[in-house]
Amino acid sequence: MYLKKSRRTNGKTQLSVMQDCWDNKARRVRHYTIETLGNLEDLIKTHPDVDTWADSQVKRCEEEFKFPLYKVDICIHPAQRIDRNTSNQKNIGSIIPLSVYAALGIDTNIKNFTHKHKIPLNVSAVLKLLVIDRVCNHYSLCPIWENKELYFIQSMFQEQDISHALDTLVETKEHLCMHINRVMQECKWFDFASIYFNIINFYYETPLNSYDIDGITNNKATKCQCVKMALLSDAHGLPFVYRRFSGDTHNESDLQSALNEMLASEEVSKLYLFPHSQSEISIRWLMRETHQHIDCLTPAYKEENWSDAHVEAYFLASYIDRIIVKTLSLISTLPCSCIIHELTTMTSVCVENKWWILSHRTADSDTLLESVGFADLKHKYLSTAHIKHLCQQASKMKFFNPNTPTD
């Protein structure tokens, strides 16, 4: 920096602190005014020794401009740059049930069925989204289409395809259930030393006040009984057959008719009966304008249009959900409720479209991940490429004999 004296148009002399800098683009030196000290005639009146005072001002400006020239190493933690927008969040725990889903061979079975009957819909993707949303977002009040971006799965179908795929799911239900049982039986997962009969009550809820359209709360909802699921499970609690029926579960005639039909179809001669007095699952209805929304089936269906296909598809997703959760419970020795909680809370946040930060980790989640062979998901930071590799690994998972040690 240096002191410059310049003659103004009014005839007065102005003092300024200047600095020269090289401009690489213009390929020449540029002169910048750092500070204007004032007119020489006015400064003489206040500072008798103007030259000494002006030199001191140049040194002051040099000292002030030294600080920005220092190199400072700044370390910014990735968590400080996280965009908390929900669009950047995904449920990383969904990879775990996806591995069991793939091991059951459900995708291959449905794709073969749709190819054989020349069905153009991507029914396999719809059922996968139904099941994963049921497992990892157990208490969600949103339709399935609104949750499709929460998981590391490809939803290669349109919103209107969901309702059309339900009829196909009903057609393939029996064939799919037999395929799942065959896979479980070949790997010796079932233990038929004892058989359990279970009744699950499904409810739907409607708001007491018609103006309550933003959501349903416990103190503003009334429960109306809807449908029931009758399950036969083995000694481990793994279900192997289910039926849907209507009527009051406390009515002995309804229980007896459902039980006799299931026992005859499965050739079961002895079982243990456990009555249920409370519901385990609720089908919640959401109010949006003039339409009611079912929990995870279709985006906009009125109550009178809720056909048997919707109920059967919901039951099929719930049935597979119970198989997946119970299988994970047997592998990890964790309770089913604990597994559902861990899978629901294992969310991750994307940073700069390249890194994913895991926001939940406990001793139970570590146990669950190690038991299914996904110990890498315990890391705090995972790259997008690494997660894609884990998803491919999950899609190729094979079932094993539970009595055989795994690596």
Q: How many CB atoms lie within 10 A of CB 13?
A: 12
Given this model, what pLDDT does residue 33 score?
Answer: 85
The token pair that represents 344 in the structure block: 């629901």
Q: What is the pLDDT of residue 263?
A: 65
Positions in the chain short of pLDDT 70? 66-87, 138-145, 155-156, 159-160, 163, 201-227, 245-309, 352-353, 399-407
**Whole-number pLDDT of residue 278:** 35
Q: List pLDDT tens digits, range 149-204.
A: 778 777 667 766 776 777 788 888 888 888 998 888 888 888 888 777 777 766 54
Residues 6+ apart with CB under 8 A from 391: 95, 98, 152
Q: Are strands 221-233 and 196-207 parallel, antiparallel or unpaired?
A: antiparallel
Would you say 80 and 139 are in contact if contact means Cβ atoms under 8 Å apart?
no
What is the model's pLDDT at position 267? 64
pTM over 0.95: no
What pLDDT, on the 0 to 100 scale, is given for residue 75?
A: 58
- Please report the pLDDT score of residue 390 as a whole number: 85
Amino acid at 330: L
Pairing of strands 221-233, 239-245: antiparallel
Q: What is the pLDDT of residue 223?
A: 46
The two three-digit tokens of residue 222, written as one number: 């009334």
DSSP state of 379: S
Buried b (16+ CB within 10 A) or exposed e, 162-189: bbbbbbbbbbbbeebbebbbebbeebeb
pLDDT of residue 275: 39
pLDDT the model gives residue 273: 45
**pLDDT reported for residue 385:** 83
What's the confidence (pLDDT) of residue 290? 27
Q: How far apart are CA 380 and CA 348, in angstroms?
A: 9
Output the pLDDT for position 254. Answer: 54
- What is the pLDDT at residue 20? 85
